[in-house]
Amino acid sequence: MRTIPFIVSAVITTVFITLLNMQLPSGKTKTPRLGFFLNPQYGFWQNAEPANVSFDKDIKIAGIKNNTEVYFDDRLVPHIYAETDADAYFIQGYLHAKFRLWQMEFQTYAASGRLSEILGKSMLPTDKYFRRLGMVFGAERAIETMNEYAETKNAMDAYTDGVNAYINSLKENDIPFEYKLLDYKPEPWTNLKTALFLKFMSFDLTGQGDDDLYLTNTKNLLGWETFKKLFPERADSLDPIIPKETAFEKPSIDVKLPTNADSVYFGIDKNTIQAVAPIIPNKNNGSNNWAVSGSKTKSGKPILCNDPHLGLNLPSLWYEMQITTPTLNTYGASFPGAPCIIIGFNDSIAWGVTNAGRDVKDFYEIKFKDSTMQEYWFNGTWKKSDFRKETIKIKGQPDDIENIAMTVFGPVMYDRNYKSKNNDGKYYAVRWTAHDPSNELATFYKLNHAKNYVDYVDAISTFQCPGQNFVFASVSGDIAIRQQGKFVAKWKGQGDFVMPGTDSAYLWQGFIPAKENPQIMNPVRGFVSSANQMAVDSTYPYYLGKSSNFPVYRGYIINRKLAVMNNITPQDMQQMQTDNYNVIAEFIRPVLLKLIDDAKLNNDEKRVVEIVKNWNLRNDINEKGATIFKLLWDSVYAGVYADEFENSKLPLYWPDKTTLLEALLKNTDYSFADNINTIDKKETMSDVVTSAVQKILPVIRQLEKDNKLEWGLYKDTYINSLLKIPALSRLHLPIGGNEGIINATTANHGPSWRMIVHLTQPIEAYAVFPGGESGNPGSKYYDTFVDSWAAGKYYSVLFLKKQEARHNNRIKWHFTFIKA
């Protein structure tokens, strides 16, 4: 009789042990292996960090040539003091891995199309997209170029060795929490992973993205003449990066328009494009940067400011640090996953970047001989395709094999096997400058070491992709800005739509020499700036791309403010970086109010209008007028264009709101106000705006009922964890701003790093970012700076010499890396 209970108990125990070592279904996903995840010795409990944790440590380590010291300040910012650059980059890699290992590896999994390995089949469309886009292909070509330049090869080799030194030292209980949650382990770091991360940033910041496909449909729907009205080349209110009427060099490349462009390219094609990318970079990816000369500052020394606008995530994209060796002393924001400081300063200069927005990615329609894609028609003959085999591993399932045809343009991204739903089975190849051999890391290596304007120009002149506006200031008093990248010399309109790929007529005809890129040094007005707006006026000899690539109003208000400011201090710049004034509303509110027909409104609707009328034009967190204005302006925009665009089942590109704003400033008798779906009536802008007020009233009533009409509550900014787990995120942050505002914070996008550098001796600097130095959710340093960032506060930066670090009262911990 005892045997039966014993057998039952043994079976239950066996089943229980088996279940604890399995990933069990949970909704659309699976649990981690609960036995390991909950294990008190090895599981996630071990990732909880004591509040009073000490980071003092002596580490005996192979891979460095000399003993190296790291001092951590009260914000856990490391200050590295090494005897050689190689040792410094080794330690940088080690620290990136210690504090951000899972993040940096996860991002390279995304870039290389490997998320299915750890997250399962749901990520296969994204993985296929990145494989077909050629991310790995581009990274492999970049590595070849990086290896040709000794400084970057040595930096990457040392960095990779440092990352792997930390990985090899990890005990099972110290593996970062996310690995345990997703049930996988870190793999060795490689130089290719660094290149992949840099290519991922190229993807995120490439100007026009896949818009060519949507714009082609839009042109075919509207016709070329109507399209030109809705997508003008330049905005009238543009205040460009380079002041208007600046004289430019005569172009060295004479770009030729294909003879059949009017009919083949600009004409209407009855075929439609159904291809839709599964992942699209945020259109608002951009930034602000500016530098003011000593003639406008209280101290007589330049001040440089930068705040790159990107998606808000935890862990943060940036890792703050100082690196000091006999050849450099630099401080700023680094990328976990790459050596060097990306945005920052040294003891001689400061620099910052904003996105140029230039179109360097185009699509070509390929004519294959048959569905095998072995041959394609080019210049009057059948040309053999090359093929790239991409194997995508899928967690718990068979591999997916992608055989990607390679053409003279680049990889065939859309074909019958992927995301192209066209009945006629069309094929689209992508030509992207990120596929070309390049060495963007060399730019940051040289900037870290730069001493003056000449060094700055040398550093950025070979930077290729993504195109950036590099702002500069020096302790000697110079300020400058240059738009730098491998920019295509295009004829007007080239690349806005899908181009024919049957001959060389539509190939890129060359690249603009660096010396012909938009640039200016020490302008008379006493400042330089950029905010992703178009860099130049119409006198510049090359085509930059359609105006909707380039936001207008942040650049406009920045220039307007800087033009009238004098005796500027770093505190003035802090206030300006966090300013919530809405210049878009300044332009359009009077027009909208004038168009409203009060006679058609009830008392509640009139009350809403009155709130907008009395609003102070600031998107501060407690302003109700800001919320109502956004709802109204969005409703007016939809009321004007929805009839033309919503009935189509094709993926389309809608006009930019700037187009509507400028049209109404010129003439409120706007032809697109008429609803094409109504036959017996011709609507006016007064009808559209009045109707918009009526349409938003129920939304406003609900917001009032929910106590969410104030702008901060309505916008509801949050910082998502990379895994989009609420418990690992920061939600409901009280911060103002919005797109088109200097403080460009939207719901989940905004200033990812704020930096102000006063080029005095010694340098005075301030910084903050929406995160913390640690990537461990169990550490109090995971989100240390979020509240200060949301409140518009800054931290005074410690830029210390080694002997100063030893005695500074803000230094809390000390690492010594001892040569093994």
- Is the Cβ–Cβ distance between 457 and 514 less than 8 Å? no
| pLDDT, position 49 | 83
| pLDDT, position 52 | 87
Q: State the Cα–Cα distance between residues 662 and 657, nearest whole angstrom.
A: 9
Considering the domain boundaries, does residue 608 fall inside one? yes
Q: State the Cα–Cα distance between residues 180 and 168, nearest whole angstrom.
A: 17
pLDDT > 70 in the chain, percent: 93
Mean pLDDT (whole number) for 686-697: 98
Which residue has better confidence, 110 or 24? 110
Q: Quote the domain boundaries for residue 658.
A: 583-709
- Is the Cβ–Cβ distance between 242 and 518 less than 8 Å? yes
| pLDDT, position 42 | 46
**Nearest CA-CA partner of 42 in 168, 163, 167, 179:** 179
| pLDDT, position 36 | 42
C-alpha distance from residue 803 to each of 75, 79, 199, 481, 800 (Å): 19, 12, 38, 35, 8
Mean pLDDT (whole number) for 246-252: 93
Q: State the Cα–Cα distance between residues 330 and 471, nearest whole angstrom.
A: 16
Mean pLDDT (whole number) for 791-797: 98
C-alpha distance from residue 92 to each of 62, 154, 326, 340, 701 (Å): 15, 13, 16, 8, 53
DSSP state of 511: B
Considering the domain boundaries, does residue 59 fall inside one? no
| pLDDT, position 4 | 64
> Of 37-46, 292-301, 547-556, 773-782, which range is least confident?
37-46
- How would residue 7 be classed by pLDDT, with cut points 50, 70 and 90? low
Tens digits of residue pLDDT in 484-499: 999 999 999 999 999 9
Tens digits of residue pLDDT in 21-64: 556 555 555 556 545 445 544 445 456 788 889 999 999 999 99
Residue 424 has pLDDT above 70, yes or no: no
- Only one residue has tokens 């004591």, namely 50
| pLDDT, position 21 | 58
Residue 12 has pLDDT above 80, yes or no: no
| pLDDT, position 151 | 97
Considering the domain boundaries, does residue 673 fall inside one? yes
Kindly state the helix (H) or strand (E) to which residue 627 belongs, with its residue range: helix 624-645
Which residue has better confidence, 417 or 525? 525
φ, ψ at 24 (rounded to 5°): -95, 145
| pLDDT, position 435 | 97
Q: Which amino acid is at 380?
A: G
Angle at 738 between CA 732 and CA 744, to 5 degrees: 100
Considering the domain boundaries, does residue 634 fall inside one? yes
Residue 475 has pLDDT above 90, yes or no: yes
Residue 726: asked if its preceding bond is cis (omega within 30°), the reply is: no
Spatial strand order of the sheet with 730-733 comes to 313-314, 717-721, 730-733
Tens digits of residue pLDDT in 608-650: 999 999 999 999 999 999 999 999 999 999 999 999 998 888 8
Which residue has better confidence, 361 or 424? 361
Q: Which amino acid is at 77?
A: V
Mean pLDDT (whole number) for 312-327: 98
> Of 308-322, 407-421, 766-780, which range is least confident?
407-421
Q: State the Cα–Cα distance between residues 512 and 483, nearest whole angstrom.
A: 11
- Is the Cβ–Cβ distance between 740 and 551 less than 8 Å? yes
Considering the domain boundaries, does residue 694 fall inside one? yes
Q: State the Cα–Cα distance between residues 754 and 240, nearest whole angstrom.
A: 23
> Could you tell me which residues are beta bridge partners of residue 158?
none
- How would residue 547 be classed by pLDDT, with cut points 50, 70 and 90? confident
Mean pLDDT (whole number) for 287-300: 98
Tens digits of residue pLDDT in 168-184: 999 999 999 999 999 99
C-alpha distance from residue 260 to each of 253, 263, 270, 373, 503 (Å): 21, 6, 17, 26, 12
Tens digits of residue pLDDT in 700-740: 999 999 999 999 999 999 999 999 999 999 999 999 999 99
Mean pLDDT (whole number) for 143-172: 97
| pLDDT, position 271 | 72
Report the chain's mean pLDDT, rounded to a whole number.
93
Dihedral sign from CA coordinates of 234, 239, 245, 248? negative
| pLDDT, position 17 | 52
Considering the domain boundaries, does residue 171 fall inside one? no
Considering the domain boundaries, does residue 668 fall inside one? yes
Considering the domain boundaries, does residue 637 fall inside one? yes
| pLDDT, position 679 | 84
> Could you tell me which residues are beta bridge partners of residue 757?
304, 765
Instruction: For 249-396, list the strands marked E by DSSP.
Output: 286-292, 303-311, 313-314, 319-325, 328-334, 343-346, 349-355, 361-366, 375-378, 381-384, 386-394
Question: How many separate domains does the chain show?
Answer: 1
- Only one residue has tokens 């839709």, namely 276
- Is the Cβ–Cβ distance between 456 and 470 less than 8 Å? yes
C-alpha distance from residue 820 to each of 10, 189, 540 (Å): 50, 21, 58
Q: Each residue of 74-87: b (16+ CB within 10 Å) or e? A: ebbbbbbbbebbbb
